[in-house]
Structure 1
Amino acid sequence: MGRSRVRAPELTGRRWLNTGGVPLSLKALRGKIVLLDFWTFCCVNCLHVLDELRELEERYADVLVTVGVHSPKFIHEADPDAVEAAVERYGVHHPVLDDPELTTWDAYAARAWPTLAVVDPTGYVVAQMSGEGHANGLAVLIEELIAEHEAAGTLHRGQGPYVAPPEPTTALRFPGKVIGLPGGTFLVSDTAHHQLVELEADLVTERRRIGTGARGLADGSEPRFAEPLGLFLLPEAVAAAAGYDVVVADSVNHALRGVRLADGAVTTVAGTGAQLRTRVAPGESAAELSTPWDLTWWDDRVVVAMAGNHQLWTFDPVTSAVAVLAGTTNEGLRDGPPDEAFFAQPSGLATGPDGTLWVADAETSTLRSVVSGPAVGAAVTTAVGQGLFDFGFRDGPAEGTEPALLQHPLGVTVLPDGSVAIADTYNGAVRRYNPATRAVGTLARDLREPSDLLVDGDSLVVVESAAHRLVRVPIPASTRVDRGAHTVRRARTDLAPGPPSLRIDFTPPTGQHLDSRFGDPTSLTVAASPPELLADGAGTGSGLARTLRFAVAGPVEGVLQVSVAAAACDDGDTGGRQPAELAEPAGRVSPVFAACHRYQQDWGIPVRLVADAPDELVLALRAVR
């Protein structure tokens, strides 16, 4: 097959999960095809890959062993209890190596979440790729490896090393979001049970469950959900016109569902069950969605936090029309007009009495705001937080030399006094932002992954997700906390100060090709943090290579933010069907048809300018070695 022989480094970490306590080694897995999935549980792209791999794991159960290598980004993700909870929460049914020090991550030179590496039955790395959307290519590669190693006698069929953990017994399992219902009850998304639960005012007693509890997508009186999250109770007149009362963000089904409270009947009101794979610009729409996470009412429409492609969308319950409100799909932190703003996994939404739309932007650890008609300046602004790689637990002014910091917030609500309460999930806290003073305080601490908030009189109902319960906390005056600032722990890449070249290594899977009949089917976006790091080379354009120029008198350290997308079509597809136009300046896209596949990844590469360092940075979107 023409692959070079690169011996796979051994798997080293703190402990193993889903193996019954038995440590694994690549030597013990000889004879199997091993797929290493480098992931972290904050990363929505990693969650997409977990779902993509399920079919491959079932289809090739006797020859393929998937091993998750959990490589944390945030401090909280290095906590052993949090890792164990995440493996259960997301239904990971393969062995997982807990790698808090990134030992195995570094051994495989991983640069992005997620990264996949394929090890053949004789212990050699034969492919490595970043991002999601590789399932089709992996299937082709696995078939090739089966044929090659079965003929050579080096393939061993049989049961893998996965050992299922004990079944959980709590009434709720990783609840996600909550809303109040008429009559004083509460509706909560029981995410890991794939159901909705109506609770009495005591937050414990169940009135009813909606959904069979089986993971899936089915409408009617016995509906199925897949990790439902956000909920929104429609205004009475809108509900009457739409024919249902509650909109549900059914995250893993990539769909919005409508629930009629009178009888619990469910309909799919947006989305097809398939994940959106194209870029859709503000003002445009698509049939598919991408991991809707939360919902709110703003400017006479439902706003959807579309975490899977880093955008905000709108939804009309009466017509079922959807459209992009803000965000380019680039993952990052950039304020400005809606069609230029960057988000990173928006996960919590709330509307203030003045019409401000508040957004908990999880991966940038920020609180963002959107206004529909600003008198001056940008429509999207950042209230609290610094960006993709800076987080912490610190109160005080939102700006300055020691600004207030959050850590992966997932929920937000507006308090009676107009201030904003934030479910600061990975800090286990409820924080408060005062727009008048632009300062942050802490309302509650020592919670287990709070994921949503709801004002109920003089208290807050808090969804304490990792504790599998809802609790009430009073709304006190803020207290001050400072546990310091943190940055993402990754090794820096040394580059020469002279004009370096950036190259994306992308080899289409066997049976696919880059189709240039309608222009270059690739897009490359480069930015820097701080922006002063780059004098030239930033921006979006076609191609998989670019020459960069660092500022002569600029900083010597920073982060290069790189986003790439490429469309590859199946060989023999000459029917004139056009792949996605990924680099069109106006940002418009064409649909990717059934015969085409879209590959996309974002990297944040910490760099340091050093004399005599390499003058080329190579990132692998999909490299076959």
Structure 2
Amino acid sequence: MTETIRRTSRVRASELLGRNWLNTGGKQLSLEQLRGKIIILDFWTFCCINCLHVLDELRPLEDQYSDVLVTVGVHSPKFEHEADPDALAAAVERYEIEHPVLDDPELITWQAYSARAWPTLVVVDPEGYIAASLSGEGHVAGLSSLLDELIAEHEDKGTLHRGDGPYVAPEPVSRTLRFPAKAIPLNRTLNGSAEGFLVADTGHHRVVQLGPDLETVVQAWGSGGKGHTDGPAETAQFNEPQGISLLPEKIADQVGYDIVVADTVNHRLRGINASTGEVSTLAGNGVQRLLDAERTRTTQVVGSLGTRPLKISLSSPWDVLWSDNLGSVVVAMAGTHQLFTFDPVTSELAVYAGTGLEGLVDGEAEEAWFAQTSGLTEDSLGDLWIADSETSALRVLRTSVSSAAPAVETLIGEGLYDFGFRDGEPAQARMQHPLGVTALPDGSVLVADTYNGAIRRYKAEHTAPDGTTVPAEVSTVARGLKEPSDVLLDADGNTLLVVETNAHQLIRIAVPDEYLTVDEGATQTQRPLTPVKAGEFGLSVSFQAPTGQKLDYRWGDPTQLQVSSTPADLITSGAGATEGLYRTLQLNADITEGVLHITARAAACDGDPGEDIPMHAACHLYQQDWGIPVVLDDVGDQELNLDLRGLK
């Protein structure tokens, strides 16, 4: 008999309350109107790469069970900008979401369902009772089994209603560009043209060359249809390409392609031969990358992944950059919070920096934590600058000092839940989910501060012409933009080019002699605080291997907890990484509020209970990150239980 994880008690689902509904033709929905359907509530926020993964994971289920299943996206914003209804409407269009979306800016429905992490999935049966709750990604197979079970059960009871759901498609809009993401200037002739810019026309699933007027499409690669197809420019397919990089001419002649593309939703790197128009796949097998199951007890180390890149899984590559210093393409691997390198000549793919854990931790490359790395640039010294979007941070990976190991340093940013709009001293400056970055000839760095709708400038401490020392400073170059996702210097060196994603255009901005100074304060993500008691505190994570899988004990305990806090001294003992899914912490009574950062992992392999795991069995790593805001209270909880569950 097939088993699934379901609630043993019948808990009535709470009403769906929020500000407004999208994708319903203007109608307001209620649970009563959806009675008779199986409902998947997808608690998401559009900044979150894991949430974007789940949107794509759910699409096949929505097609397969279209007459009985209604997916409802409950948008529960993390950042202030995400609470803007226009920004949410743009995100729903950009990610081609084809189900109703509830706008829940006050987290009313989020709290009613006790959601604690993005993404969270809640399954509601046709009678309005909660059937299952799941955190994180990778639950499609299990959801399919659960849906089959619920369909059979409620058809027998006569409580299942087949037919169309409440989704109403919006009217299509014709545009030259649709949600462009990244751009680079042409610095040599491509297919007879040396003018203009290469642009990731993300919403049209293609790469284009724009003329100097920023409107004329000189040439394009990609049919405009979403998919993965190599071949001629007219028939090739991409899926939400983001970053693009032009190889040095000598390298391009050697490898047979000129342009490298971060084909984000396909989890691949693609190559374009500008002369022939041919599109090829360079790296990635199309399967989203997770950390290796056998390494669940340790963090992913940097190093080579081999020279067969088409056999290697990637995870949402967001930007690519040719590094003269490294002699390789650097890849911002947003889905695993790491930097990779790809050598076009040898085809070697490697992890260059980042443990794979999400957060803001500086140090040597193999020790650093990133959070959805989204933008890259290289300065004249060879150092790599990174827009680390989920920590609202500007980071630099120092690679130019030959005597020292590459090391990560944070210039702006505090952590996953700290953001704002503030200029001045870098330690006090704040941004909000930046996606793009570019180094200028004077040594300063510009940042596309996406959710603040601004272009920011970081200038390190330097010596003025009169010999005085000028302290490091963050200033604002421009604002009032609609989600700028990239910024670069125009060919004349006197103007900036900005990719204004939500305005579907590239625009020029004059570089001002004086920079505006802005201080609109610093903000933390405001979510309901969990009251906890100081002193001994128990933390446990529940996990049950999906049907047809078993925990993999071949290398020891296959589970791990990584625990830290903001501020760091909130936890006086018990922080760090250990095996097992239970931990006893000591919480500091002198701290009033903070955030517990928890990462749980479990490795399971295909196999039957009581039998040895076959040598070549497929293995799976389940992982979820939580940030739990807490307030210390004498009558607070003394333990916290979270769920890391897989269904199959």
- The equivalent residue for 1:196 is 207
- The equivalent residue for 1:450 is 484
Query: How many residue pairs align between the two structures?
Result: 606
Alpha carbons of structure 1 residues 616 and 81: separation in structure 2 relative to 1, 3 Å: same
2:268 counterpart (255, 259, 269): 255
Question: 2:303, 2:352 within 8 Å by CA — same for their partners in 1?
Answer: yes
TM-fit CA distance, 1:275: 0.6
Question: 1:350, 1:358 within 8 Å by CA — same for their partners in 2?
Answer: yes
Instruction: Give distance in 2, aligned partners of 1:259 and 1:373.
Output: 30
- The equivalent residue for 2:626 is 603
Deviates more, 1:37-46 or 1:208-217: 208-217
Deviation sequence 1:117-167 (CA, Å, 0-9, x none): 000111011111111111111111111111211122111111111111111
SS of structure 2 residue aligned to 1:484: strand
TM-fit CA distance, 1:255: 0.3
Question: 2:605, 2:613 within 8 Å by CA — same for their partners in 1?
Answer: no
- The equivalent residue for 1:310 is 337
- 2:583 paired with 1:555: no
- The equivalent residue for 2:222 is 211
Instruction: Give distance in 2, aligned partners of 1:62 and 1:621.
Output: 30
- The equivalent residue for 1:78 is 83
Deviates more, 1:299-308 or 1:559-568: 559-568
Name the aligned partner's letter for residue 486 of structure 2.
D
- The equivalent residue for 1:506 is 543
- The equivalent residue for 2:302 is 282
- The equivalent residue for 1:614 is 637
Name the aligned partner's letter for residue 479 of structure 2.
R
Name the aligned partner's letter for residue 570 of structure 2.
L
TM-fit CA distance, 1:376: 6.7
SS of structure 2 residue aligned to 1:16: strand
Name the aligned partner's letter for residue 441 of structure 2.
P
Question: 2:607, 2:614 within 8 Å by CA — same for their partners in 1?
Answer: no
TM-fit CA distance, 1:623: 8.2
Question: 1:282, 1:324 within 8 Å by CA — same for their partners in 2?
Answer: yes
- The equivalent residue for 2:373 is 346
Deviates more, 1:329-338 or 1:294-303: 294-303
Deviates more, 1:103-112 or 1:603-612: 603-612
- 2:360 paired with 1:360: no
Question: 2:399, 2:405 within 8 Å by CA — same for their partners in 1?
Answer: no
- 2:471 paired with 1:466: no
Deviation sequence 1:327-380 (CA, Å, 0-9, x none): 111110000111111000010000000111100000000000001265679710
- The equivalent residue for 2:600 is 564
Show structure 1 runs of 5+ residues with no match: 579-592
Instruction: Give distance in 2, aligned partners of 1:517 and 1:315.
Output: 32
Instruction: Give distance in 1, aligned partners of 2:560 and 2:176.
Output: 47
Alpha carbons of structure 1 residues 346 and 2: separation in structure 2 relative to 1, 3 Å: closer
- 2:395 paired with 1:384: no
- The equivalent residue for 1:336 is 363
TM-fit CA distance, 1:284: 4.0
Instruction: Give distance in 2, aligned partners of 1:119 and 1:274.
Output: 29
Instruction: Give distance in 1, aligned partners of 2:129 and 2:545.
Output: 20
- The equivalent residue for 1:62 is 67
Alpha carbons of structure 1 residues 468 and 184: separation in structure 2 relative to 1, 3 Å: same
Alpha carbons of structure 1 residues 508 and 145: separation in structure 2 relative to 1, 3 Å: farther
- The equivalent residue for 1:129 is 134
Instruction: Give distance in 1, aligned partners of 2:410 and 2:487.
Output: 20
- The equivalent residue for 1:245 is 258
- The equivalent residue for 1:587 is none
Question: 1:127, 1:623 within 8 Å by CA — same for their partners in 2?
Answer: no
SS of structure 2 residue aligned to 1:319: coil
- The equivalent residue for 2:473 is 439
SS of structure 2 residue aligned to 1:397: coil
Name the aligned partner's letter for residue 303 of structure 2.
G
TM-fit CA distance, 1:518: 3.9
Alpha carbons of structure 1 residues 2 and 571: separation in structure 2 relative to 1, 3 Å: farther
Instruction: Give distance in 1, aligned partners of 2:603 and 2:150.
Output: 25
- The equivalent residue for 1:236 is 249
Question: 2:450, 2:483 within 8 Å by CA — same for their partners in 1?
Answer: yes
- The equivalent residue for 1:325 is 352
- The equivalent residue for 1:145 is 150
The 5 A counterparts of 1:167-182 are 167-181=172-186, 182=188
Question: 1:373, 1:379 within 8 Å by CA — same for their partners in 2?
Answer: no
Deviates more, 1:560-569 or 1:205-214: 560-569
Instruction: Give distance in 1, aligned partners of 2:538 and 2:625.
Output: 18
Question: 2:254, 2:345 within 8 Å by CA — same for their partners in 1?
Answer: yes
SS of structure 2 residue aligned to 1:61: coil
TM-fit CA distance, 1:567: 2.3
Instruction: Give distance in 2, aligned partners of 1:284 and 1:605.
Output: 35
Instruction: Give distance in 2, aligned partners of 1:373 and 1:355.
Output: 5
2:425 counterpart (397, 414, 436): 397
Deviation sequence 1:70-99 (CA, Å, 0-9, x none): 000001000000000000101111000000
Name the aligned partner's letter for residue 65 of structure 1.
V
Deviates more, 1:446-455 or 1:285-294: 285-294
- 2:197 paired with 1:186: yes
Question: 1:134, 1:599 within 8 Å by CA — same for their partners in 2?
Answer: no
Instruction: Give distance in 2, aligned partners of 1:282 and 1:302.
Output: 16
Name the aligned partner's letter for residue 498 of structure 1.
G
Deviates more, 1:5-14 or 1:475-484: 475-484
Deviation sequence 1:303-333 (CA, Å, 0-9, x none): 1000011001111011221110111111100
1:273 counterpart (270, 275, 286): 286
Name the aligned partner's letter for residue 358 of structure 2.
E
TM-fit CA distance, 1:453: 1.2
Instruction: Give distance in 1, aligned partners of 2:352 and 2:505.
Output: 33
Instruction: Give distance in 2, aligned partners of 1:510 and 1:126.
Output: 17
Deviation sequence 1:560-609 (CA, Å, 0-9, x none): 1101122233443957446xxxxxxxxxxxxxx77333221111111122
Alpha carbons of structure 1 residues 483 and 594: separation in structure 2 relative to 1, 3 Å: farther
Name the aligned partner's letter for residue 210 of structure 1.
W
Instruction: Give distance in 2, aligned partners of 1:12 and 1:566.
Output: 34
Question: 2:532, 2:637 within 8 Å by CA — same for their partners in 1?
Answer: yes
Deviates more, 1:610-619 or 1:48-57: 610-619
| TM-score between both structures, scaled by the size of structure 1 | 0.94
SS of structure 2 residue aligned to 1:466: helix
Deviates more, 1:95-104 or 1:454-463: 454-463
Name the aligned partner's letter for residue 50 of structure 2.
N
- 2:317 paired with 1:292: yes
Alpha carbons of structure 1 residues 290 and 623: separation in structure 2 relative to 1, 3 Å: closer
- 2:552 paired with 1:515: yes
SS of structure 1 residue aligned to 2:625: strand
- The equivalent residue for 2:580 is 543
1:19 counterpart (21, 24, 45): 24
SS of structure 2 residue aligned to 1:267: strand
TM-fit CA distance, 1:524: 1.2
Name the aligned partner's letter for residue 302 of structure 2.
P
SS of structure 2 residue aligned to 1:622: coil
SS of structure 1 residue aligned to 2:604: strand
Question: 2:354, 2:367 within 8 Å by CA — same for their partners in 1?
Answer: yes
Instruction: Give distance in 2, aligned partners of 1:257 and 1:535.
Output: 47
